[in-house]
Chain A
């Protein structure tokens, strides 16, 4: 791989010089990933990849054109600009509503380096391989009923340079490591699986701040074994206590997607509800480029891919819908300032409106107080996958459930999926815990392009629909 690179901003400036079109956005994006995967004592991969290039977006004749080049060289970038212009011209006549020039925005000029970048550049992959082999073996040795275990470490190091014809000039670097341990338990021909995963923006001190790698391995193995004997919850409406990881999924899936301004324009359930009460007064929900309440949130970034500074966007304040999430284009359409939510996955992708770190602010109650208030319900923990619909109907999966009866926690039950209408569920909240956790930093959000995001919050008590057995 190349070890000496030209200064990307200088190359982009040379390419942009003399370019005559309405608007040009150049984004150099170097993405280096390293990964180690171990399963049942075998090293499945030890890999390194680097994908680098420049994405070019132009606004010409009232529409966008996009092209890219893998070469960080002024001539190649100029050629991509011309291809993007040609693409825009080819489609302009077919566009019904031409875009107006983007209004001025608070564009950033500066250099930013996230926590842990230097540490990642110098990290010995041999140590990572040793750690993965050791922890997989530890999980497998935790019980005679553990049939198989796996461990995966992935690290994404991103360098970006953004230059726009109307003034943004940004260089940034960020590193996002993640770590996952899985275990499969077997008994009487039945298999049960469990995993623990963490992901952050930052260094390893941040990655393992809440649990050591050894603890993660042991917890995954213990949970897989416990699930062998677990029963199923009953299906139906229930009072539930959601762990912070599930509150993160709720904020991301049920609310976050419906307030992305492109989705609002298409008619999401949040359309037309600004200023209206959509949640309990106990709920303040934000999406931020920064890591409030606890360090290392996995979707942190200083500047978005349009050169706009990221901010803490208050989406719901004490139950009232206050803001959508915006790119420059959507902000112009709604007559507001952009919120710094335009993000692209690779240099070949155009920026889309995406979440960053989405959360509910902590409240006042302890976990014990929240459990005490439940006559009959469930405590749900361990985030699995999730999805949201246009009408606000969401679903997400949980890894484990516990019955709560008269304020006492019962034995482990198998995880179930839960569903509800986002604003109805948030309106049913009657208890908010004081402890705050980011817990959605591993994995990706999908919206055409993958994206690293995070989400979290405190323990939350509310009403949902559980998909148990009939």
Chain B
């Protein structure tokens, strides 16, 4: 088929899913016909309307439709994978031959097998009808609102870039093991990236954004994000070095995630454990963090972007507690890692159409504590550093981290004194997770995809320039 005009585009979520299911089944059939013993196809289609911002103005408007399909084949326990974005180009014969040829050149692995299939009816429970086909004119209106809001805050704010995007997304998976599942969702997002400039004083960057599954009420979310951007960027002006010390720092949720949680979350992968690179190996049921740390993965939370009924392999997902009061509760498994241990997948196969399934979380939620709000936490810190973001390196094996405190503030007498620049942080994430003095009483949603509280953490080395 050559002409886009000759093809009537599928429009409703269920129509799109039906087409993706058919394409997946066609790819699996092609693979089996090409000599595969087992095959799995995963397909996605994403339609978006986007207005990109640059230099404080609208830069470009874009309408996009993209699709892809990834085909995993097994030949005598050997693995091959091929992907394409040409979903309408016939029978997938060439794609299947590519994948099978790759598999025939690799080594055998007895754990290469597809997870037992589930048949799930098409789902559109995550779709907002208003968003599915939101016209680009509405994105333009929201972009105007964003820019006007930023201009009204302070003339010193400079928006380097940003975007407003409405998207609709559908995925399907089918396999020779009997899996057949599909789902659609939709979302609306806005982001702003920039800084404040006051004469020769250029403040550090700030980046804010928000996401919603619902068109209704998004304008208010967008305005709150712009207000926070403005407050933070303006607060970054006049930065001076902090003081060097070793002791407590107060982390906003963004800093908590990038500085402390990475090694713990990476170590939850059963594959990392099996391969000897997880520092959590052998610690199931043991304390891996302080008693105030409880983490869940909750794909049933509709307010989080990672919500969904099944994973990359079509295995049903469910809410799971990962760490309970500091104690490690579970590792995460996809089909391969589960086969290595002769157990069932936990529904944590991750990834898209362009690679074989990996292991990942869907929607991370960390329970808040009893440390109060921002003012109370600043009071508990007394004197020290408040860290907005962390820009640095975190070693997933050792947990060692080292990097720069961004959007940081020097706190004295329980009150913010000034912005802090050229300030480096150093420590170990696992030690720090055992040294959390308290968590805020509320949590914040980050970019729509996870919920985290603020954290007051002891024992961090702060080096001021």
Contacts and interface: CB of A to CB of B under 8 A. Distances in A.
Interface of A: 1-3, 35, 39-40, 42-53, 57, 63-71, 73, 75-76, 79, 83-84, 86-88, 90-91, 94-97, 124-126, 129, 133, 147-148, 150, 184, 186, 190-193, 232, 235-237, 262-263, 265-269, 348, 350, 384-385, 387, 389-393, 395, 397, 414-421, 448, 465-470
A75 B4 contact: yes
24 contacts: A43-B106, A46-B80, A46-B81, A53-B85, A66-B62, A68-B66, A70-B85, A71-B88, A76-B4, A87-B136, A94-B58, A95-B57, A186-B276, A237-B465, A262-B160, A266-B195, A389-B406, A390-B194, A391-B195, A391-B203, A395-B403, A418-B424, A419-B404, A468-B426
A235 B460 CA distance: 12
A469 B400 CA distance: 11
Nearest to A133: B107
B204 interface: yes
A328 B426 CA distance: 43
A397 B401 CA distance: 10
B4 A190 contact: no
B393 to A, nearest CB: 3
A417 B105 contact: no
Nearest to A258: B202
A414 B398 CA distance: 11
A68 to B, nearest CB: 6
A3 B93 CA distance: 12
Given A48-B102, A79-B5, A267 B89 contact: no
B204 A390 contact: yes
Given A126-B105, A193-B396, A1 B202 contact: no
B11 interface: no
Contacts of A2: 86, 89, 94
Interface string B395-412: 111101011101000000
B158 interface: yes
B403 A91 contact: no
B91 interface: no
A465 B140 contact: no
Contacts of A193: 277, 395-398
A419 B424 contact: yes
B84 A49 contact: yes
Contacts of B3: 71, 73, 75-76
A266 B421 contact: no
Interface residues of B, number: 92
B144 interface: yes
Interface of B: 2-5, 51-52, 54-64, 66-68, 70, 79-89, 94-95, 98-99, 102-103, 105-107, 109, 136-137, 140-141, 143-144, 158-161, 194-195, 197, 202-205, 239, 244-246, 274-277, 279, 354-356, 391-393, 395-398, 400, 402-404, 406, 421-422, 424-426, 461-463, 465
B204 A71 contact: no
B202 A97 contact: no
Given A47-B83, A96-B57, A184-B276, 9 more contacts: A49-B354, A90-B137, A184-B397, A192-B395, A389-B204, A390-B160, A391-B195, A415-B402, A469-B426
A263 B205 CA distance: 11
Contacts of A269: 202
A391 B202 contact: yes
A45 B422 CA distance: 42
A392 B86 CA distance: 43
A49 B83 contact: yes
A283 B409 CA distance: 34
Contacts of B356: 44-45, 47
A50 B422 contact: no
Contact of B195 (A49, A186, A267): A267
Contacts of B158: 266-267
A123 to B, nearest CB: 12
Contacts of B51: 91
Contacts of A35: 355
Contacts of B204: 389-391, 393
A69 B465 contact: no
Contact of B402 (A67, A125, A416): A416
A87 B59 CA distance: 11
Contacts of B393: 384-385, 397, 415, 417
B85 A63 contact: no
Contacts of B103: 46
B313 to A, nearest CB: 15
B286 to A, nearest CB: 12
A38 to B, nearest CB: 9
Contacts of A418: 424
A125 B102 contact: yes
A94 B392 CA distance: 38
